[in-house]
Structure 1
């Protein structure tokens, strides 16, 4: 009996803690990979409107058969229901954040995008408090840690955006003698507007935090991950079609060739719009919005490595200082969250005997 109980506890720990952690880490790797590929493709002339629209088309076409094969143990929501409106709003938020984010990367770099993404836990925590999804007890050390961590995250992001600073690590030592040098030469001549890019990226991650909150509300009412993500991508495709076609009027830009642009679109459609959206939706249902947002800082190290190897990005002092502050804020929020969860577990175990006694008493009374 003891062995069976230990196996149950171990499996519960694996399914509720290890698997979500590994899945969220994989999502961050795929997201940074998409940003890096997109940046490389834009240097070859890919329009970000074309990129966003085709990415949603790819993911919608892939999700269509999946939604029939693995979807619905529940009926589809009515077209006039509030739930259907919320899912369409998810599509609008997702499309807007994609456009803003792509433009932000175009002005700056994937490394800056990963640094600014550390604002997501602060944004999500603040919104979760506003919508009463997180408790605030000012005398609690856990709450104080989460508030301080949120403030530090915002401060670190401001440092990254407002102070670029001298180069700490030159990319030349990481660039092999290959055709990628072409990208380095183009990137060197490309003078990006660091502040505008940072502000656009900050806007993207605020919209993403709103997406997390709304998606959590949707999953509470309709816990069908594949169906919800399919309709989210479908609405995003329908919304993006007229906007992108009007914004990118050059028809030759819509003709894709088998090069890095096509690779970036397929990668984004499969691993970002589909895999990441499904994983985030499942994680939001299992763990909540604050937990999902806490994994954003992991993308910094991944982005720096990928940016240096594939894009010729240099690491600047402002990014280092700001990222250190951001990471410190991130781990402060994590500590506060862990302490809060531990307190709830202890409180639950203390009340368990009283709850069991109350249940037994009710059963006895019902037998009488």
Structure 2
């Protein structure tokens, strides 16, 4: 009887809890964009939003960086390392500026759909930088190429094709617009949708560049929390003067206790705090492949929350394009996983059993990139 109870507890700990945690992390990341969109409609500018959220994130990650790496032997923190971290901050700031402006002109559902372009764009850029080898006759390389083309096609469908209305917020009078005056349905135009989608696509291309540079930098200085802290701090140092140039009116920087303050606090605490911790825990317990497989779930979460809280309408083009992007996402991921399995098998076959542990714990670039959020 005890063994049966212990088996159920082990199953809950190994399967159910990681599943719930991963879904909760996706909900947390999507809800950041929902709160941001609601705050934008209430008058919050992304020029104000970004410095505040970066400052909160830096304050949160500073103690984590200290306690997690205080006993870890690290290379010297040189000017070169500092400049690399600052470069990540600049690229991250520009990338998130594109992302937030894109959400402002469109909606969180489009952002979640576009986020699944990240593995495809990372793969394409890795080829250009000769970090990825393409073997045309290899099934894994063919899968990655086809998946990249399918993802790009899906993105074009989402941006350029609207289609008939599937779900209207008018059918949910008691649930929609829980944020007062936060409806975005009437303010969206096809031109804004296309511009917003283009900015989101550009943001995810920049995110792919950020992923590649981060993967190179963390090899030289293996301290993720320190990297994240300096990334947030350098992004704050860049976003603050840019924000004052974009919003010189000091009254715009004064926050009252409303949805604007809530969006900033939520992004700084839940987005980079709670969501990041859940993702990191899921990576440790179940591995990067398991966590990456939940990425397209954010599209459905964003669509549901957008209709309920923002009064967004859902069109056929967004659904079809999201499905196509998700298919391309899984195709790229399958090709990369198959390639890494074959490579690891060939590498480990030639090693002795005493050194076989060195074959474990490798996180491929594309799988790692699939877990990085734009927001």
Give the shorter-chain TM-score range: 0.7 to 0.9
In 2: Cα distance, 1:44 partner to 1:125 partner:
38
Check 1:298–1:135 CA distance in 2 against 1; reply closer, same or farther (3 A cut).
farther
Deviates more, 1:304-313 or 1:60-69: 60-69
Mark the runs of 5 or more structure 1 residues left unpaired by the alignment: 1-9, 360-368
Shift in CA distance, 221/326, structure 1 to aligned 2, threshold 3 Å: same
Matched, 1:187 2:209: no
Question: Alpha carbons of 1:317 and 1:191: their partners in 2 closer, same or farther (altered >3 Å)?
Answer: same
Cα deviation, 1:211-250, whole Å, max 9, x if unaligned, reads: 1111111111111121111111111111111000111112
CA positional deviation for 1:343: 2.1
Matches within 5 A, 1:317-328: 317-328=316-327
1:302 has 2:309 as partner: no
**1:349/1:77 CA distance change after superposition, 3 Å:** closer
Q: Deviations over 1:125-174 (max 9, x none)?
A: 11233344433221111110011001100010011111122211222234
RMSD over equivalenced CA pairs, Å: 3.4
Uncovered stretches (5+) of structure 2, i.e. residues with no partner: 1-9, 357-375
Larger Rg: 1
1:29 aligned residue: 27
1:290–1:244 CA distance, 2 compared to 1 (3 A): farther
For residues 265 and 253 of structure 1, the distance between their equivalents in structure 2, rounded to whole angstroms, comes to 14
Q: Which residue of structure 2 lines up, in the alignment, with residue 143 of structure 1? A: 141
Find out whether 1:123 has 2:121 as its counterpart: yes
Kindly tell me the number of residue pairs found equivalent between the two proteins. 343
Q: Which moved more, 1:71-80 or 1:213-222?
A: 71-80
SS in 1 for 2:166: strand
Q: Does the aligned pair in 2 maintain the 1:121–1:294 contact within 8 Å?
A: no
Residue in structure 1 matched with residue 350 of structure 2 by the alignment? 351
What is the SS of the residue equivalent to 2:162?
Answer: coil
- CA separation of 1:138/1:289 partners in 2, compared to 1, >3 Å: closer, same or farther? farther
Matched, 1:227 2:229: no
Q: Retained in 2: the 8 A contact 1:67–1:230?
A: yes
Q: Give the Å deviation of 1:276.
A: 5.2
Distance 2:73 2:85 in 1: 16
User: Aligned partners of 2:290, 2:127: CA distance in 1, in Å?
Assistant: 14
Contact 1:216 1:289 in 2 (8 A): no
Counting only pairs closer than 5 Å after superposition, residues 78-97 of structure 1 correspond to structure 2 as 78-81=77-80, 83-97=81-95
Asked if the contact 1:157/1:322 (under 8 Å) is kept, the reply is: yes
Q: Which has the higher helix share?
A: 1
Tell me the distance in 2 between the aligned counterparts of 1:89 and 1:62.
21
**Counterpart contact for 1:38–1:264, Cα < 8 Å:** yes
Q: Secondary structure of the residue that 2:235 maps to in structure 1?
A: helix
What is the TM-score of this pair, normalised by structure 1?
0.82
Q: Is the Cα–Cα contact under 8 Å of residues 48 and 247 in structure 2 kept in the other structure? A: yes
Distance 1:148 1:85 in 2: 37
